[in-house]
Chain A
Amino acid sequence: MFFQSLICEPVFIFPILSFIFNIHLNNSLLILIIIFQTFSIFSLQLGKVSPPNFQIGFVSSLISHFFLKESISFSLLFGIFISIIFGYLYILKRKINYYLSNNFKIEFALIFSVLISYFSYISVLLLQYMILKKFKVADSSNFYSLSLFLVLSQVKYFRFGKKVETLLFLVGILIGVICLKLISNSF
């Protein structure tokens, strides 16, 4: 439940983590945030019931990049893999929920369900930590650039229904082009 809430979205959890652990936003972290946040947005567009995998994928990437000092390419890759694993873990949790609610008192099923979520997510994160310690991947800006393109390829899920929507999308692009002047010094 907690992992599904809005506060766990990369854009909202980062300020909290940066405040607690004194993490400063740099371009590498910005790329991580953009990639995982965009995946999360488009998983909503696909009609999924907001699975929490990309939120945890982002936190895993942040841990590996900031705390374990891994390269951004490796952290990104690992975050994406963890997201995929958590997708299946979420499906498994829904199956366990059915077993719990039919075999235990509903109040206990509720508590067990929350506990199982927490422990399964934390144990996978610990497993990730153990794996991370054994592997090293060289850093490359080309890789995370490709990841940004991968995010961009999700545009097809926008589902343009009416002409006015396409028109508004193009107006958005136009405003974006105008605003580029504002960020031209940021990168």
Chain B
Amino acid sequence: MFKVNFKQFLKSLAVQVLLNEQDMQLQGYNILTNKKFKHNINTNPYFSSVMSGFISKVKDIRRVEIFASITAFVGDDLFWNNLKPIVLISSLLVYIFKLNFYFLLIPFLTYFLSTNLLRLFGYEYGRKNVDNMNNFYSSFFFKRFRFFLPKIRYLLYGFFVILLLYVNLKILNSIYFYGIILLLIIWVNFVYKEFAYIFLIILGFLVELFFWIL
């Protein structure tokens, strides 16, 4: 069984590699299901082997589509919206506090193992739990994770923001200049909204030019 799981694991990587704008994940699922499944579905790539196990047992396309959209939502929310930012911010804290690089192994392995073990054993899980998939979203595992992960994320955001402000203050060495820039950034974000990003890059150039002239 491990050999089958490993094969599916390798094939599941194709879902991300062959992602394109027109077919989305169709070509990836072509490889994953040995060209047996030819419908366009959208899932989270980490759940692709779970999906392939599910597809191998279920022939009703509507059931597959519903389950695909559930895995897309759960996967995006669990891994990309919550777990990855937590892992990356906690790794940044290792740098900011100048801890030993070995501490980076903890967040790295947390994310690496959780995603790749899901890919590795997902096929078997998908095949075995075809009838229980209705409870997939509200199952114990995801319910638990969805409860505490966002809370950790927001706590880390607050922690990270204050550290960034502090680092910046140390670089600038001028409380007045610092206050002016901070107010300017807040104002630009309120006024320009999604264009604030571009505006601030131009502003950076202008300030740099100003200092160069001085």
Which residues of A pack against B, CB within 8 Å?
A: 1, 4, 6-7, 9, 11-12, 15, 18, 25, 30-31, 33-34, 37-38, 40-41, 44-45, 47, 49-50, 73, 80, 91, 94-95, 97-98, 101, 106-107, 109-110, 113-114, 138, 140-153, 155-156, 158, 160, 164-166, 168-177, 179-180, 182-183, 186-187
Give bound CA distance, A18 to B21, whole Å. Answer: 37
B47 to chain A, nearest CB (A): 14
Is there contact, CB below 8 Å, between A152 and B20? no
In the complex formed, the residue of A with least CB distance to B212 is A138
Q: Across the interface, which residues of A come within 8 angstroms of B208, CB to CB? A: 73, 140, 142-143, 146
User: Which among B119-127, B135-143, B158-166 touches the partner chain?
Assistant: B158-166
Q: Across the interface, which residues of B come within 8 angstroms of A41, CB to CB? A: 84-85, 88-89
Q: Does B16 have its Cβ within 8 Å of any Cβ on chain A?
A: yes
Tally of A-B residue pairs with Cβ under 8 A?
213
Contact of B31 among A7, A110, A150 (CB under 8 A): A110
Using known A-B contacts A6-B112, A44-B80, A152-B168, determine if residue A169 contacts B97 with beta carbons closer than 8 Å.
no
Q: Does B157 have its Cβ within 8 Å of any Cβ on chain A?
A: yes
Give bound CA distance, A109 to B20, whole Å. Answer: 12
Q: Across the interface, which residues of A come within 8 angstroms of B20, CB to CB? A: 94-95, 97-98, 101
Q: Across the interface, which residues of B come within 8 angstroms of A160, CB to CB? A: 154
In the complex formed, the residue of A with least CB distance to B172 is A145
Is there contact, CB below 8 Å, between B203 and A146? yes
Is there contact, CB below 8 Å, between B203 and A95? no
Q: Across the interface, which residues of A come within 8 angstroms of B41, CB to CB? A: none
Is there contact, CB below 8 Å, between B196 and A153? yes
Q: Mark B181-212, 1 if CB is under 8 A from A, else 0.
A: 11001001100010011001101100110011
Given contacts A150-B204, A172-B162, 11 further A-B contacts (CB under 8 A): A47-B76, A91-B21, A98-B23, A113-B17, A142-B207, A143-B204, A158-B157, A169-B158, A176-B162, A180-B162, A186-B96
Is there contact, CB below 8 Å, between B27 and A109? yes
Is there contact, CB below 8 Å, between A172 and B157? yes
Give bound CA distance, A98 to B19, whole Å. Answer: 8
Is there contact, CB below 8 Å, between B95 and A33? yes
Q: Could you write out 12 A-B pairs with CB less than 8 Å apart?
A: A11-B94, A18-B101, A34-B167, A45-B85, A80-B201, A145-B171, A146-B203, A148-B167, A153-B197, A168-B151, A169-B155, A176-B158
Is there contact, CB below 8 Å, between B85 and A30? no
Q: Across the interface, which residues of B come within 8 angstroms of A18, CB to CB? A: 101
Is there contact, CB below 8 Å, between A98 and B85? no
Using known A-B contacts A30-B96, A45-B81, A94-B20, determine if residue A37 contacts B88 with beta carbons closer than 8 Å.
yes
Contact of B27 among A97, A114, A142, A173 (CB under 8 A): A97
